[in-house]
Structures are given as structure tokens and as C-alpha cells.
A and B are shown apart, each in its own frame.
Chain A
Amino acid sequence: ETGVTQTPRHLVMGMTNKKSLKCEQHLGHNAMYWYKQSAKKPLELMFVYSLEERVENNSVPSRFSPECPNSSHLFLHLHTLQPEDSALYLCASSPGLAGGQTGELFFGEGSRLTVL
């Protein structure tokens, strides 16, 4: 068990659907992240939240909408996606400045998204 839990683990959706990915961390961390992992490509940073404020939006299309209601939860809302958005979406957390940043991220097992 990693301390970072992602649901659902697998999601299949049509291009007109609206769905959400959920991430919860049980580590008391202050920063949370969404990464996208596509085949044969490096992991791409999508969003960073530090103390519930978005500090990074890495040129992500507006069809991906993040939400961080508190420091333990992070959502990725999905709407009108394209087939090329099919990927493994990984959530991560880190202690952040207040907790003593040691550099590493702690990852969940990912949500495998397939867009038909």
C-alpha cells in the first residue's frame, strides 16, 4: 500500500462523457500532482497543487479540469476527451515546504483511461 490511493483503477469512456478521477493521500502531505503517462513517452506533469492552490498548469487542454478541495484529495474532471487522451494518469504527493521537503514524490497506482 503506497499511501496514495487512486480510483477508479480503470475507466473506459466515450468522447461525450463526463467522468472524474479521484486521488487521496494518507501521508499528511501538502502538495499533490497529476502526471500523464503515455506509451513510449516520458511522464508529463499536468498540474501541481501546493497547500490547495494550483501552482502549475502545464499547458493542459481545458477538457482536463483539476480540483483540490483539501490537502488530502485531488480530482481530475474529464469532459469531451479525445482518443489520444487515453493513458495512465498518475497522482502523486509530496511533503511540501511546511512538512520538510525531501524531494521525492509518492505515487499512486494510477488510473488507466481509455477513450473510445
Chain B
Amino acid sequence: AQKVTQAQTEISVVEKEDVTLDCVYETRDTTYYLFWYKQPPSGELVFLIRRNSFDEQNEISGRYSWNFQKSTSSFNFTITASQVVDSAVYFCALSSIRSILTGGGNKLTFGTGTQLKVEL
């Protein structure tokens, strides 16, 4: 069974502050994908990043950065110099690569999400 835990239900910051969203996962698979999605008020989930379980290299993309620690089963997401437009619900998700390769589709397991509010 797979499980994704986002312990922070809501975070409020002032614009230009840095903010880190935590994600801890559980899986018995040895190969898997981890994702972060953003859900603005419009509703659709917007894909932000995917990491493979065998690639622990951390990544920075503009104001976004990700810290993947396989030893602690964590995949945290940091927004630097937050902006009001970053206000949204952020979801961490996990899927099994084996399921994809065996034709079972890409069945993502999501966390409960973290509501980020960035205020002026």
C-alpha cells in the first residue's frame, strides 16, 4: 500500500518570505515517481515536478526548489520569495513505475494537500 502525508494543512506567509511544504511518503515499491501539483482556485491540478526514485539530485527551477531524501522518505518543496499568485493548494503524490510498465495506468496516490496563503 502507498501513503502520502502532508502534515501541514494550511500555511500563511507574507509576500517575499520563503516557505517549505513538507511531504513524507510510504511505499513498498523500489521504483516510483514523486510529484508536486498545484491547485489554484480554478480547480485544475497543475503539474510542477516529477522525480524518479533513483534520482536523488535536488533541483531548482526559478523560485521553486525540491529536496528529495530517500533515506527519510521525504520530498519537500520550497518556494523562495513567495508571491500572492503562489496562493493555492499544493499536493504531493506518489506512483508506482511498475504499475505503469505493466499497463495498469499511472495511479497516483495523493496527500491531503497544503493550503498556502501568501498575503501582502
Contacts and interface: CB of A to CB of B under 8 A. Distances in A.
B16 interface: no
A109 B33 contact: no
A31 B45 contact: no
A96 B97 CA distance: 12
Interface stretch (B19-27, B57-65, B72-80, B108-116): B108-116
B12 interface: no
A103 B50 contact: yes
Interface in B58-97: 91, 95, 97
A42 B112 contact: yes
A96 B50 contact: no
B44 interface: yes
A107 B45 contact: yes
A2 B38 CA distance: 13
Given A88-B43, A103-B33, A103-B50, A45 B108 contact: yes
Nearest to A103: B33
A42 B101 contact: no
A104 B35 contact: yes
Given A104-B50, A108-B44, A94 B105 contact: yes
Which of A48, A103, A105 neighbours the largest number of chain B CB atoms within 10 Å of its CB? A103
Contacts of B44: 2, 4, 90, 107-110
A105 B47 contact: yes
Interface of A: 2, 4, 31, 33, 40-43, 45, 48-50, 55-56, 88, 90, 92, 94, 96-97, 101-110, 112
Per CB-CB distance, the 9 closest pairs between chain A and chain B, nearest first, are A48-B105, A107-B45, A110-B43, A109-B44, A43-B110, A103-B33, A109-B43, A104-B47, A42-B110
14 contacts: A4-B44, A31-B105, A42-B111, A42-B112, A48-B105, A49-B105, A56-B104, A56-B105, A97-B101, A103-B50, A104-B33, A104-B50, A107-B46, A112-B43
